[in-house]
Amino acid sequence: MVALPFLGRLSFLLLIATTTTTAFAIGIHHGSIIRKPSSGVSNFREAPEFRNGDVCGTNASERIHIAMTLDVNYLRGTMAAVLSVLMHSTCPENTEFHFLWGKYEPEVVVSINSTFPYLNFRLYHFDSGRVRGKISRSIRQALDQPLNYARIYLADMLPPDVKRVLYLDSDLVVVDDIVKLWEVDLEGKVLAAPEYCHANFTKYFTDLFWSDKELSSTFNGRKPCYFNTGVMVVDVDKWRQGGYTPKVEEWMALQKQKRIYTLGSLPPFLLVLAGNIKAVHHRWNQHGLGGDNLEGKCRSLHPGPISLLHWSGKGKPWLRLDSRKPCAVDHLWAPYDLYGSPDHSLEE
């Protein structure tokens, strides 16, 4: 699939957000769509199977591994994210999803199976006991849920045959071929993500942290920059070999003794890896569309090309659309919404 320049892509997104045609037949530059009758098992419509590429291999080496969490409260977002990945992939049949769940909710699994009957996926139970006693209260309750910390334990949960994984949050949609992000050259780094060096890095930690010379010295020899952990390419083997999980846990344990940050699972990632990751283009995480963590006020798109739209922050597009008080950017998410009737996501 050919990448669109920013203005062309935005016009394209706005077009599909306002048309009355279902989103399934839009956004495919080549290939065909295979449909099956909907089973009506859940409140989600059945998604079509996409065949976008003329030549798509089935070798294990060509498989793209994507990890996401599964939670009933964010299921609507997860469904939209999965649809967006499949819709824009040249070879969606080569994508395998790895879903991490904390509390077994049968209706969630039923919904995944009925909505995506062709999906290649595996399920993994994340034991919340692994972070019990390690989580400190943050500025937003949603950030304190144990499943939000599951990304720290990916290397422990995934099978040995998974050497690399792309972790995605549930409040995003992909509008480009995910293989372009998947194939990034890590250049020996354990993790790749968009890096934001213009952000005020100091605000992610408390004055107590910065005033303690021993603690703040952890960044000596590094040029730390903010990166969002909702979109990461991770070398799973290197993560295991480097013992990164216990390194992150050490900072979480210290946070319980001294309040050195106010957010959830992000700061310990920054403490361990900021300034030592492979930076990728910002187009792969147009983040912050959910506004800030306290009020979730509307935000506009940043200038530049876009390959991934991310509603990080308090405001989630499905909630704002349902409340009939959507932000302008929420209409870019709506065409991927599989919940309810076909025209449900297009109503204002």
One DSSP character per residue, 94-160 reads GEEEEEEESS--HHHHHHHHHH-TT-EEEEEE--GGGTTTT----SSGGGGSGGGGGGGGHHHHS-T
* Tally of residues, the chain: 348
Q: Is residue 2 part of a domain?
A: no
Q: For 220-266, what is each residue's pLDDT tens digit? A: 999 999 999 999 999 999 999 999 999 999 999 999 888 899 878 89
Q: Which residue has the higher pLDDT, 100 or 130?
A: 100
- CB-facing half-sphere around the CA of 180: CA atoms within 13 A: 18
The structure's pTM equals: 0.85
Q: Is residue 16 part of a domain?
A: no
Q: Distance between CA atoms of 219 and 209, rounded to whole angstroms?
A: 12
Q: Is residue 300 part of a domain?
A: no
Tell me the average pLDDT across 153-175: 96
50-59, 150-159, 333-342, range with greatest mean pLDDT: 150-159
Residue 286: beta bridge partners? Answer: 309
Which pLDDT score is estimated for 142?
Answer: 58
Q: Is residue 318 part of a domain?
A: no
Which pLDDT score is estimated for 6?
Answer: 41
Which pLDDT score is estimated for 141?
Answer: 62
Which pLDDT score is estimated for 341?
Answer: 62
Which pLDDT score is estimated for 337?
Answer: 97
Q: Is residue 54 part of a domain?
A: no
Owning domain of residue 150: 60-283
- CA distances in angstroms from 185 to 176, 246, 303, listed in the order given: 18, 26, 25
Q: State the CATH number of the domain containing residue 180.
A: 3.90.550.10
**pLDDT value at 130 more than 60:** yes
Q: Is residue 175 part of a domain?
A: yes
Residues of the chain above pLDDT 90, percent: 65
Q: How many domains does the chain have?
A: 1
Indicate the SS3 state at residue 345.
Answer: helix
Residue 67 contacts residue 158 (beta carbons within 8 Å): yes
One DSSP character per residue, 242-304 reads TTHHHHHHHHHHHHHHS---SSSSHHHHHHHHTTSSEEE-GGG-B--TT--SSS----PPPSS
Q: Which of 132, 172, 159, 129 is nearest to 330 (CA)?
A: 172
Q: Is residue 197 part of a domain?
A: yes
